[in-house]
Chain A
Amino acid sequence: MVSIQNLHKKFGKNQVLSGLDLTISEGGIFAVLGPNGSGKTTLIKAILGMVIPNKGEISVLGENIKKSSNYRHQIDYLPQIANFPSNLKVRELIKMIKDLRQNTDEDKRLIELFKLEPFLDKKLGNLSGGTKQKVNIVLTFMFNSPLIILDEPTTGLDPISLIRLKDLIQTEKAKGKTILITSHIMSFVEEVSDEIVFLLEGKIYFKGSISELKTKTNQPDFEHAIASILTDNHA
């Protein structure tokens, strides 16, 4: 699905990714974890083509992404901070994104699911963070792409919406899609992910299932396993 070879990225003097190799096979939910500044968002943005790597190759669905934008038709992306043009109304934003990508009717179901009807004619600048995140989720899930990338999807969501989001993720997984998630909420990661990728200092420190991680670190639960990696490497 996604294969990354020898990825390097530097922001000024700050080496964020240094020779990262990663292959994500088709189907299943992958969680990208790591401490702050480990390069999670950079990795995701590199896959999306928003960050241009200094070195290395990335291919999505067998296609090298360099100098191409069409492969993004195959990706649904949920950005970390939902910042939208504040002048636009929710309805217009949805219409615009559909206009830019392709038409779909899935949005109606999603709007209903997240109870967004009352907000459709409000300007995005006047929405609360949680509502914005719901709009963000609608925009992401209304297209039927084989690869879904979710950057901190749980931010600002109330418990009911969180459950709906989890359901949504599971349905998509059931359709055989590949889903890439970053999150700081370990319980959420533990609950949804099949496999985790742990980034440390710009490299992959660990890749495998949660149980494998527990065995490796000799910790009874997931949260402690993660913590032990961090203390081992930084203490």
Chain B
Amino acid sequence: MLKILKYSFFDLMRSRWSYVYFAFYLLLGIVLLFLNNDLSKAVITLMNVIIVLVPLIGTIFGVMYYYNSKEFTELLLAQPLKRSSIFLGQYLGVALSLSMSLILGLGIPFVFYGLFKSTAIWDFSLLLITGTFLTLIFTALAFNIALSNENKIKGFGYAILLWLFLAIIYDGIFLMTLILFEDYPLDKLSLVGTMLNPIDLSRTLILLKLDISALLGYTGAVFKQFFGTNFGLIVSFIMLTVWVILPVLRIVFKSMKKDF
């Protein structure tokens, strides 16, 4: 698997898309710092951008890579290699190169701006960790979509739909549900609703950091335990990990059964 990972990774590293992605983050970081003149404010803006953009790029890039490397995959399949290593290797190759573009692209301008001397360093690390988690999750989801759809256009369509659903529509439905059932105790429901969507989950992590004062204004005991202690942070990270593991398991499972 490590060999496949190595080749996928280097293959991607020399493809111009990684550079585009890297350059995009570099630019975003520089522009935000330049416009805000303030590290903490730039980090906050970035958080809002990251939780929406990283999933989009992760899904699109994942699907694209899968379809584009079909030949490579078939070449590998005829070699004495396990299927799971081939697909996990490719998946990790994509996810890691995307994460690296993210970390370096954002990290470089912020480090030059004096991140290490700033109090925003923890917020920024949380941002990068969340971004990496989201990349891992959405690349895995993209691979799942691509593995299940031979048709490229259909695959892309589903990928965009998935992003649209999790980034926007889900929250709309979520909000409607909460308002409709406002007469009932809702704190458990709202927490469960958050857990079921990785974008919301990452948002929660960021809320814990930025909006703890507002969150603690709510009365529910479950809420209070979740946001008032480290419990929320731990549960969120566990759930994010589960969100990585489940789609990855499905990649392994699906790839075992697929014909090429």
A26-48: contact bitstring with B at CB < 8 Å (1 yes, 0 no)? 00000000000000000001001
Closest residue of chain A to B256, judged by CB? A52
Contact, CB under 8 Å: B83 / A69:
yes
Stretch at the interface among B23-31, B69-77, B117-125: B69-77
Chain B interface mostly helix, strand, loop or mixed?
helix
Closest residue of chain A to B77, judged by CB? A50
Within the assembled complex, what's the spacing in Å between the Cα atoms of A78 and B83? 19
Stretch at the interface among B7-15, B188-196, B219-227: B7-15
Say how far B154's CB is from chain A's closest CB, in angstroms: 15
* Interface of chain A residues 88 through 115 with chain B (CB within 8 A): 88, 96-97, 99-101
Complex interface: chain A residues within 8 A of B259 (CB): 11, 45, 50-52
Within the assembled complex, what's the spacing in Å between the Cα atoms of A85 and B74? 10
Contact, CB under 8 Å: A84 / B79:
no
Within the assembled complex, what's the spacing in Å between the Cα atoms of A87 and B16? 10
Complex interface: chain B residues within 8 A of A72 (CB): 78-81
Q: Is A83 an interface residue (CB 8 A)?
A: yes
Interface residues on B, range: 20 to 34
Contact, CB under 8 Å: A79 / B78:
yes
**Known A52-B258, A69-B83: A87·B78 in contact at CB below 8 Å:** no
Contact, CB under 8 Å: A48 / B71:
no
Contact, CB under 8 Å: A48 / B78:
yes
Q: What are 8 A-to-B residue pairs whose CB atoms are below 8 Å?
A: A52-B259, A72-B80, A77-B78, A87-B11, A87-B14, A87-B15, A97-B75, A101-B80
Say how far B13's CB is from chain A's closest CB, in angstroms: 10
Say how far B163's CB is from chain A's closest CB, in angstroms: 26
Complex interface: chain B residues within 8 A of A231 (CB): none
Contact, CB under 8 Å: B71 / A73:
no
Closest residue of chain B to A124, judged by CB? B71
Closest residue of chain B to A49, judged by CB? B77
Chain B residues with a Cβ under 8 A of chain A: 3, 7, 11, 14-15, 69-72, 74-83, 256-260
Say how far B68's CB is from chain A's closest CB, in angstroms: 9
Closest residue of chain B to A72, judged by CB? B80
Within the assembled complex, what's the spacing in Å between the Cα atoms of A69 and B75? 14
Contact, CB under 8 Å: A73 / B80:
yes
Within the assembled complex, what's the spacing in Å between the Cα atoms of A85 and B93? 15
Within the assembled complex, what's the spacing in Å between the Cα atoms of A45 and B258? 12
Chain A residues with a Cβ under 8 A of chain B: 11, 45, 48-52, 69-73, 75, 77, 79, 83-85, 87-88, 96-97, 99-101
Within the assembled complex, what's the spacing in Å between the Cα atoms of A97 and B78? 11
Complex interface: chain A residues within 8 A of B7 (CB): 96
Within the assembled complex, what's the spacing in Å between the Cα atoms of A73 and B79? 7
Complex interface: chain B residues within 8 A of A84 (CB): 71-72, 75
Within the assembled complex, what's the spacing in Å between the Cα atoms of A31 and B181? 70
Complex interface: chain A residues within 8 A of B70 (CB): 83
Complex interface: chain B residues within 8 A of A77 (CB): 78
Contact, CB under 8 Å: A69 / B11:
no
Closest residue of chain A to B86, judged by CB? A69
Contact, CB under 8 Å: A85 / B71:
yes
Say how far A46's CB is from chain B's closest CB, in angstroms: 9
Within the assembled complex, what's the spacing in Å between the Cα atoms of A97 and B246? 31
**Residue from A51, A75, A79, A85 with most neighbouring chain B CB atoms (10 Å):** A85
Contact, CB under 8 Å: B76 / A100:
yes
Within the assembled complex, what's the spacing in Å between the Cα atoms of A14 and B260? 16
Contact, CB under 8 Å: B80 / A85:
no
Contact, CB under 8 Å: A48 / B77:
yes
Within the assembled complex, what's the spacing in Å between the Cα atoms of A72 and B85? 15
Contact, CB under 8 Å: A79 / B80:
no
Within the assembled complex, what's the spacing in Å between the Cα atoms of A77 and B80? 11
The 10 closest A-B pairs by CB, nearest first: A83-B71, A72-B80, A85-B72, A77-B78, A51-B259, A73-B80, A50-B260, A69-B82, A50-B77, A100-B79
Complex interface: chain A residues within 8 A of B82 (CB): 69
Closest residue of chain B to A42, judged by CB? B259
Contact, CB under 8 Å: B11 / A85:
yes
Complex interface: chain B residues within 8 A of A51 (CB): 259-260
Say how far B198's CB is from chain A's closest CB, in angstroms: 30
Complex interface: chain B residues within 8 A of A52 (CB): 256-259
Say how far B254's CB is from chain A's closest CB, in angstroms: 12
Complex interface: chain A residues within 8 A of B72 (CB): 84-85
Closest residue of chain B to A46, judged by CB? B259
Complex interface: chain B residues within 8 A of A97 (CB): 75, 79
Say how far A101's CB is from chain B's closest CB, in angstroms: 6
